[in-house]
Amino acid sequence: MKKVLSILLFAGIATFVACGPSAEEKAAMDKQRADSIATVQKAYDDSVAAVNKAAEDKAKQDAEAAANMEKARQDSIEAATKKKGTAVKKTNEQKIKEDKKVLQKQKG
């Protein structure tokens, strides 16, 4: 009896180990693995696209800021030039008036 039980137990274990998953189960596991890989790949691609878009937006903002700074610099130079030109004119006008006064004093 002990031998028969041992043989049956051994045969049962061997049958259980030998059966394993069926072809359908293996196909289902492969499909699930492929779906999982596709999901991860899509998430990766989406995150890379988001990072690239953010980098492009940042580059546009930086370019606009640089253009605005350059325009402000040019405006500042123009304003300083106009102001300097006006100051020179006033100074020249003042010199002319002073010269006239000096000439009038010398004449009389």
Instruction: State residue 11 phi and psi, 5-degree precision.
Output: -65, -40
pLDDT tens digits along 25-42: 889 999 999 999 999 999
pLDDT at 90: 61
For the whole model, what pTM was predicted? Answer: 0.47
Task: Please report the pLDDT score of residue 12 as a whole number.
Answer: 85
Amino acid 12 reads: G
Q: What's the rounded Cα separation, in Å, for the pair 82 and 20?
A: 91
In this predicted structure, what is the pLDDT of residue 57? 95
> Which residues of the chain register pLDDT less than 50?
none
Q: Specify the pLDDT at position 4.
A: 86
Q: Assess contact for 29 and 21: CB atoms under 8 A.
A: yes
Query: Average pLDDT of the chain?
Result: 86
